Chains A and B, each alone.
Chain A
Amino acid sequence: MTRFLLSLPIFFFVVLIGILVLLTLETKEGRDPSIVPSALIGKKAPKIDLPAISDNIPGGFNREDLLGRVTVVNVFASWCAPCLIEHKQIEQLTKNGIPVYAINHHDKVTDVSLWLKKNGNPYEAIGFDPDGRASIEWGVSGVPETYIINAKGFITYKQSGPITKSVLKKKILPELEKAKK
């Protein structure tokens, strides 16, 4: 009995260390503890109905536009430096035939028009959201942020932060494949 009692600490120690080893290995594989997964994953995409930025930029979309095929919704702004980093990858997605919709977050018409002219516009449609209303509905915690939405209009994945080349390869593309099923 006493031997058993005195061995108990080992048991707790092994369990605790096991968990820590597991998590450290996952952290090594790219787990980021600072990311809180969205509560919206697995839920229907929130209502959205945004106007176009201006007449000569394709835009203005609502939730019905997202139905029928797998789409990507990307939150960006002209003032956001990491958004420029992921721009190439957004173009890549469009080339792959994925329609990318954009929520233009807290921006000015002139700024964003200039930004798109300079960097190119790969988006299917851009919704203008100067006061961040749609972003609140979608639970956006920062720009850039990207959502994958399946054909039925459900959010299947959320990426916080820029889509770098490795994120595209390791996360976005496999998640798109999963969403297509």
Chain B
Amino acid sequence: MIPEIGQFVLLLALLVAGVQSFIPLLGASQKNSALMKTGSSMAIAQFFLILIAFFALTYAFVVSDFSVYLVFKNSHSLKPMLYKISGVWGNHEGSMLLWALILAIFGAAVAVFANGLPSTLKARVISVQAMIGFCFLTFIVFTSNPFDRLDPPPLNGLGLNPILQDPGLAFHPPLLYLGYVGFSVAFSFAIAGLLEEQIDGSWGKWVRPWVISAWTSLTAGIVLGSWWAYYELGWGGWWFWDPVENASFMPWLFGTALLHSVIVVEKRNTLKIWTLLLAILTFFLCLLGTFLVRSGVLTSVHAFASDPERGIFILMILILAVGGALILFALKAPRITSSVSFSFFSRESAIILNNLILTFSSITVLLGTLYPLILESITGGTNSVSVGPPYFNLTFVPIMIPLLIAISFGPLLAWKHNNLAVIANKLKIALISAAVAAIITYIIVPDGPILAPIAIGLAIWIAVGSLTEWAMKTKLFDKPFNITNLKFSYFIRAISGMTFAHLGLSILIIGITGSSAWQTEFITSLYLGESKQFKEHKITLEKVEYFSGPNYEVERAHLLITKPNGETLKFMPERRFFPVSGQTTTEASIKTTLLVDLYAVLGESKVHQKSEKKWTLRFFINPLIPWIWFGAVLMVCGGLLSLANPSHWTVNLYASRKKRSPAKISEPTKMDI
């Protein structure tokens, strides 16, 4: 019964989304406020309907209702409750439902929270949001129905892919979708703005919190996935330039560019056309990511639920949404003008540089990801190549370096015009610290790659640069130093989301550098009780035990690692065998000192020389990996801090009305890209 309710409300939601796609739009073009107002109530209704459908599916998973085909295929009665619930989105159909739910959440959020918006803009945003929702709901209802029944119901299910049975991965997809789908709001705002032919500072102000929230979620989602790959896959790394990872990274890069360019629109009322294009393309990359993961055109360690039929459908959504948006953009963008000028040394220019580098680097990632496909389609399948980390390290990394240099200048530069000499003077300390850090790094690790000390220097440059900006904002050095003048709360309040995010980036770079330049790996096989020496560490295999987990069998090794100072550490890497699916997963054992991760993975055992068993072991020394997670958490905190800033949410109606004067719709006089 419950699944039928789910099915029914899903159809209702489709219907509501269909009506919501055009009625408010019609209202906006006829200036009919009654029609426009229906948008908000429909957005809220659509949200509740999809929420009920989502709960119905969750219920089917929780009570293990195997008469629902999806539950049968992806769940098992012995599975722990957490994974019964995360199983809802651990498959194609359920994750599409989650996607539609998040779309509706954002639609309803616009309806409820965006009260300061002009009614026409709001109505159009809500309609565009509903169009996207309508596409996805059609997709779900007609090709990926999560409520399909199975008759007769089987006694038990097939179980969830064991690799997905992990707390990190339980929350990775929802966060990632929150990011992907969050950018749909920026997209809707861009389309609505194009339809209104009116983009100005207040448009930038309204769209900004949505961009920040999408960016924050996407950052958190990517990092969670990366963290999961680090401890679950047992490969000792955390980023593999895998197509699916790239699929989430490209929208992140574009989203980061958008995050910055929207500020220019808000504060300076310029860079508008470029920002519109960025908003469209960011969402395009989100959809492209979804397509790549699900269509099966690429192989990847992460690709799941791939099916070319669905690929075609996602492509159709892509063509409709993005193709339509780009045509609208080509038609309407020439009418959007701005006449603000700025000099070469200004914050505007710094943000343009930021945007160019971020989009360019994202395009190199896109090229690397799609090159095998493009080559294959040109040569007709006779030429198959794969593009791996060497390409990305050679292209992506050098492109990012100028950005990392510019990042300390940007926030110090004033809008409109600034003197480079003044800024350079302010950044003296940052430059000196960076140089010192690079030299010290080189002295400590002279035999590593030469890029490593440079990267550490850049990280310090960014960190000190952001602190300089903060110090200047608090006027820390303007007065003679006096301890009684220092008010704690005053300094805390001056820390902006940006300071956090930039500091986080700096720490992230240190972590990336450490783990990619100075990682060491040791593969060996040991008998019980045997010891081997790896650099200054002695590794002993003490014992191997076997026991049962909730729905898996465990083979756990007890390793004793003796450090040079005589201190011993106990490692317990595991292999888990899931009888339901016949798959094996690894659980790496990680000991961290915040500076270095020691990372042990248990491999297969083999019988060697007359029944003595030998276990393969991989042991990694991963310097500075914890800094990656810490840096990323700081970046997310920066996003949250920005969101908590009330000035992003309150809209001064009077001021915004005044700014949106009809003079802006005048004939194009000056290009603004």
Contact of B297 among A2, A5, A16, A20 (CB under 8 A): A20
Cα A23 to Cα B376 with chains together (Å): 9
Give the distance to chain A from B317, nearest Cβ to Cβ, in Å: 11
Cα A3 to Cα B668 with chains together (Å): 12
- CB 8 Å contact bits of B560-574 with A (1 = contact, 0 = none): 000000000000000
- CB 8 Å contact bits of B307-335 with A (1 = contact, 0 = none): 01101100100110011001101100110
Cβ of B228: which chain A residues have Cβ within 8 Å of it?
none
Q: Is A10 an interface residue (CB 8 A)?
A: yes
Contact flag A10-B323 (CB < 8 Å), given A27-B308, A36-B384: yes
* Interface pair B326/A10, CB less than 8 Å apart: yes
Give the distance to chain B from A148, nearest Cβ to Cβ, in Å: 16
* Interface pair A19/B374, CB less than 8 Å apart: yes
Q: Is A31 an interface residue (CB 8 A)?
A: yes
- CB 8 Å contact bits of A1-44 with B (1 = contact, 0 = none): 01101110110011011011111111110010111110000000
Q: Give B373-393 interface residues, CB cut-off 8 Å to A.
A: 373-374, 376-377, 381-384, 386
Cβ of B384: which chain A residues have Cβ within 8 Å of it?
35-37
Contact of B315 among A3, A20, A31, A34 (CB under 8 A): A20
* Interface pair B333/A6, CB less than 8 Å apart: yes
Give the distance to chain A from B658, nearest Cβ to Cβ, in Å: 29
- CB 8 Å contact bits of B650-673 with A (1 = contact, 0 = none): 000000000000000000100101
Cβ of A17: which chain B residues have Cβ within 8 Å of it?
315, 318-319, 323
* Interface pair A9/B329, CB less than 8 Å apart: yes
Cβ of B383: which chain A residues have Cβ within 8 Å of it?
37
Contact of B299 among A3, A10, A33 (CB under 8 A): A33
Give the distance to chain B from A84, nearest Cβ to Cβ, in Å: 18
Counting contact residues on chain A (CB < 8 A from B), the size range is 20 to 34
Cα A27 to Cα B668 with chains together (Å): 46
Cα A39 to Cα B297 with chains together (Å): 22
Q: Is B111 an interface residue (CB 8 A)?
A: no
* Interface pair A27/B330, CB less than 8 Å apart: no
* Interface pair B315/A9, CB less than 8 Å apart: no
Q: Is B296 an interface residue (CB 8 A)?
A: yes
Q: Is B298 an interface residue (CB 8 A)?
A: yes
Q: Is B281 an interface residue (CB 8 A)?
A: yes
Find the A residue at minimum CB distance from B303.
Answer: A33
* Interface pair A2/B671, CB less than 8 Å apart: yes
Cβ contacts A to B, 22 pairs, < 8 Å: A2-B668, A3-B334, A7-B330, A9-B330, A10-B323, A17-B318, A19-B370, A19-B373, A19-B374, A19-B377, A23-B376, A24-B308, A24-B311, A25-B312, A26-B381, A27-B295, A27-B311, A28-B309, A28-B312, A34-B299, A37-B381, A37-B384
Interface residues of B (CB under 8 A from A): 273, 277, 280-281, 284, 291, 295-299, 308-309, 311-312, 315, 318-319, 322-323, 326-327, 329-330, 333-334, 370, 373-374, 376-377, 381-384, 386, 668, 671, 673
Given contacts A9-B326, A13-B323, A35-B384, list 17 more A-B pairs with CB under 8 A.
A2-B334, A3-B334, A6-B330, A9-B277, A9-B280, A10-B327, A13-B326, A19-B373, A19-B374, A20-B291, A20-B297, A23-B376, A24-B311, A25-B308, A27-B296, A34-B299, A37-B382
Closest 9 CB pairs of A and B: A28-B308, A27-B308, A7-B330, A24-B311, A34-B299, A33-B299, A10-B326, A23-B297, A6-B330
